[in-house]
Amino acid sequence: MPARLGQPVPGRTGRRRWKHLGKQAARSASGKPASPAAAAGSHESAGNPVSAHARSSRSVRRSPGEAGFTLIEVLVAVFITVVMFALGYKTITQASNSRESLKEKQARLLELQTSVRVLEQDFVQLAPRPVRQAIGDEPAQPALEGAAPGGPPPIVALTRGGWANPAGLQRPALQRVAYLLENGTLRREYWNVLDPTLASTTYRRDLMTHVKALTVRYLDQAHQWQTLWPATALRQEQVLRQRPLAVEITLDTEDWGKIVRVIEIPG
């Protein structure tokens, strides 16, 4: 603790000063005059207490709390900051990747739902109406024509009803559609005329990608599953208008695997 102004500083220097002052007091009591140097020193100590306080303050050390950070402490703080930043960046990256993956899966699921819904609507509204060939009149195409597995495209072609016409265009309510698979893409084709010719415009719609195969089976009147429709090669009018009791559609996809849907044919 620093000494107060006007008070002697404790320690060796203080003891000497007290001893010197004691000698001066003894000489004064005995009547002997003090030496000029002693008098000057005594006068300096008594008359200039600030210098004594300054000399004593130089001997006081700084407390440990007033010191700055060491190099090791700074390096540790920087290391912790870098680790926290790396962890935060990794978390943000994983969240972003998960979001993109979720968007892709949602888009794929929407494709699958749309494809199955369109297929179901076409088969449910199957109409017993054969169509003419693109060249000539004979033989006519059946109302429902399903190719054998591995056969030439299309995989299946049919005539469906219920084609909405809100604009009142000059076209029938029946529609001829066909499904085929090209380069892993399930495609639906249709025409604005019921009996298309080579000059008719073909409209195409891609329903789903990453499809390995599309297989269709037909349930006949004897409740037997057939891979080809009509099941007979006869081209009679009754055979051309014949419809199955139900159809089984199998979509073999790359990511969802095999998806089977059985659709009942009304009427």
Q: Are residues 244 and 128 in the same domain?
A: yes
Q: In whole angstroms, give the CA distance from residue 267 to residue 263.
A: 13
Per DSSP, what are the bridge partners of residue 185?
Answer: 182
What's the domain count of the chain? Answer: 2
**Other residues' Cβ atoms within 10 Å of the Cβ of residue 112:** 18
DSSP per-residue letters across 170-232 = SS-S-EEEEEEEETTEEEEEE-SSSS--TTSPPEEEEEESSEEEEEEEEE-TTS-EESSBSSS
Q: Are residues 256 and 154 in the same domain?
A: yes
Write down the pLDDT at residue 132: 87
Per DSSP, what are the bridge partners of residue 225?
Answer: 219
Q: Are residues 47 and 127 in the same domain?
A: no
Note the pLDDT tens digit of each residue in 130-168. Answer: 998 877 666 788 999 998 877 788 999 999 998 887 787
Q: Are residues 21 and 132 in the same domain?
A: no
In a domain, 217, yes or no: yes
Q: Are residues 128 and 249 in the same domain?
A: yes
In a domain, 167, yes or no: yes
pLDDT confidence band for 20 (50 / 70 / 90): low
In a domain, 247, yes or no: yes
In a domain, 88, yes or no: no
Is residue 77's pLDDT more than 60? yes
- Say which residues have a Cβ less than 8 Å from residue 258's Cβ, sequence separation at least 6: 250, 251, 252
Most confident among 42-56, 66-80, 99-113, 214-228 (mean pLDDT)? 214-228
From 60, 82, 98, give the residue that closes a domain.
Answer: 60
Is residue 52's pLDDT more than 70? no
Write down the pLDDT at residue 144: 93
Q: Are residues 40 and 127 in the same domain?
A: no
Write down the pLDDT at residue 57: 46
Write down the pLDDT at residue 25: 54
- Expressed as residue numbers, the domain containing 254 is 122-264
Question: Pairing mode, if any, of strands 175-182 and 185-190?
Answer: antiparallel
In a domain, 113, yes or no: no
Write down the pLDDT at residue 34: 47
Q: Are residues 34 and 128 in the same domain?
A: no
In a domain, 116, yes or no: no
Q: Are residues 148 and 246 in the same domain?
A: yes
In a domain, 98, yes or no: no
Most confident among 9-13, 47-51, 66-70, 209-213 (mean pLDDT)? 209-213
Q: In whole angstroms, give the CA distance from residue 191 to residue 186.
A: 17
Q: Are residues 127 and 242 in the same domain?
A: yes
Write down the pLDDT at residue 61: 52
Q: Are residues 247 and 141 in the same domain?
A: yes
Supply the pTM of this predicted model.
0.63
In a domain, 2, yes or no: no
Q: Are residues 56 and 129 in the same domain?
A: no
Q: Are residues 171 and 258 in the same domain?
A: yes
Structural contact between residues 232 and 238, judged by C-beta atoms closer than 8 angstroms: no
The CATH number covering residue 172 comes to 3.10.610.10
Give the chain's length. Answer: 267
